[in-house]
A and B are shown apart, each in its own frame.
Chain A
Amino acid sequence: ETGVTQSPTHLIKTRGQQVTLRCSSQSGHNTVSWYQQALGQGPQFIFQYYREEENGRGNFPPRFSGLQFPNYSSELNVNALELDDSALYLCASSRSGKTPDEQFFGPGTRLTVL
């Protein structure tokens, strides 16, 4: 069974640029959630995708957008990067969009915005 994978591991961007982060869900999982973890903080929910549709969104501006593909992998896109977007971005996959299915986390992508 393949676990959740994320790419890239690290990324450095400058303010105003755009970035795409990728997540491959665990085998058999059709739901992907994205979280932002700022330094010294707990993860904060960005949004969730279930069967290619957005299935809930946290308190993040529209410049944070996402996609889920037919194979259930997912992308997180962030436009017009700001310094405060520097964080660890975690994705988590689960078998369905229903609570309280266990979510399995990937190792994260560390984004630095200069």
Chain B
Amino acid sequence: AQTVTQSQPEMSVQEAETVTLSCTYDTSENNYYLFWYKQPPSRQMILVIRQEAYKQQNATENRFSVNFQKAAKSFSLKISDSQLGDTAMYFCAFMTNTGNQFYFGTGTSLTVIP
């Protein structure tokens, strides 16, 4: 079974500062995919970044980057130069290489303070 754990229910960061959201997961699979989704108050889930487990290089998308530690089964999200629009729930998600469903964590509520 696949599980995803986000141990930080709430976090806050000053505008323009950097924040890191934590995620750990458990799986016996060797090939899989990891994702960070953002869910603003509008409720629509938006893909922030994704990482293929077979790639050693950490994924980056503009101000968003991940620290993927496969052996430790850790997948943290770093947001640089935080903006007010980054305020949202952030979900870490896992998908196996052969599966078709996401396994989501319980989310981290991030507030960017002006």
Interface range on chain A: under 10, 10 to 19, 20 to 34, or 35 or more? 20 to 34
- B30, CB-defined interface residue at 8 Å: no
Asked if A107 and B43 make an inter-chain contact with CB atoms under 8 angstroms apart, the answer reads: yes
Taking a contact as CB atoms closer than 8 A, the residue among B47, B93, B97, B105 that contacts A99 in the complex is B97
Per-residue CB proximity of B17-55 to A under 8 Å, as 1/0? 000000000000000010001000011111100101000
**Does A72 make an interface contact (CB < 8 A)?**
no
Residues of A within 8 A of B93 (CB): 42
A44 to B93, CA, bound (A): 11
When distances are taken between beta carbons in the complex, the residues of chain B under 8 Å from A42 are 4, 91, 93, 104-107
Flag whether B96 is at the interface (Cβ < 8 A): yes
Tell me the bound Cα distance from A55 to B42 in angstroms.
29
Instruction: Name 14 extra pairs, CB < 8 A, besides A43-B104, A102-B47.
Output: A33-B101, A35-B102, A42-B4, A42-B104, A42-B105, A92-B45, A98-B100, A99-B95, A100-B50, A100-B52, A102-B50, A106-B44, A108-B44, A110-B43
